[in-house]
Amino acid sequence: MYNIEFLDIEEKNEYESIISKVLEKCFEVEHLPKDYFLVSVTLTNPENIKSINKEYRNIDEPTDVLSFPMFEKDELDKLLKEQIFQYMDILGDMVISIQQVEIQAEEYGHSFERELSYMVVHSFYHLMGYDHIKEEDKEIMRPKEEFVLNELGITRE
């Protein structure tokens, strides 16, 4: 279902616990078969995420989270509708800057758990083919994110 890698940061069970809980709920809510989809999560520092952002998005700045889906939304929808799974597919990769999560949690006045959970659920929905650039897309994606967080009892407080 997922694997977590630590790239140039200290490994902490707390991070793994939060990510595991959130991804479990995301898979459950979206009815994704855990045995057939893998999410790769890399936790790193601002320098590494900046380098990845520059390489893949041509943006020479650090960011909080990057998402690299392996399917277009319509491809994934078709695969899920047909339910024909022969082997494990990679749903996609997410890269999260732990330092940026800490900064944003303080900036927004909520817990580290809430901010990391949000980064994971936000990235998960990008891997599912959702986006938030257009307002009409945001109106679909944001409620999905909030639903998962509310189901987990993870609030902004």
DSSP calls for 10-40: ---HHHHHHHHHHHHHHHHHTT--TTTEEEE
From residue 24, alpha-carbon distances to 48, 112, 116, 134, 136 in Å are 27, 19, 15, 28, 27
Residues of the chain with pLDDT > 90: what percent? 85
Give which of 130, 57, 132, 131 is closest to 95, Cα–Cα: 57
**pTM, rounded to two decimals:** 0.95
CB 33 within 8 Å of CB 85: yes
CATH of 2-151, one of 3.40.390.30, 1.20.1260.10, 2.40.37.10, 3.30.70.270: 3.40.390.30
pLDDT digits (tens, 9 = 90+) for 67-122: 999 999 999 999 889 887 778 899 999 999 999 999 999 999 999 999 999 999 99
Residues of the chain with pLDDT > 70: what percent? 99
Is residue 147 very low, low, confident or very high in pLDDT (cuts 50, 70, 90)? very high
Distance, in Å, from the CA atom of 83 to the CA atom of 121, rounded to the nearest integer, reads 23
**Pairing assessment for the beta strands 37-44 and 2-6 based on DSSP bridges:** parallel
**Domain extents for the chain?**
2-151
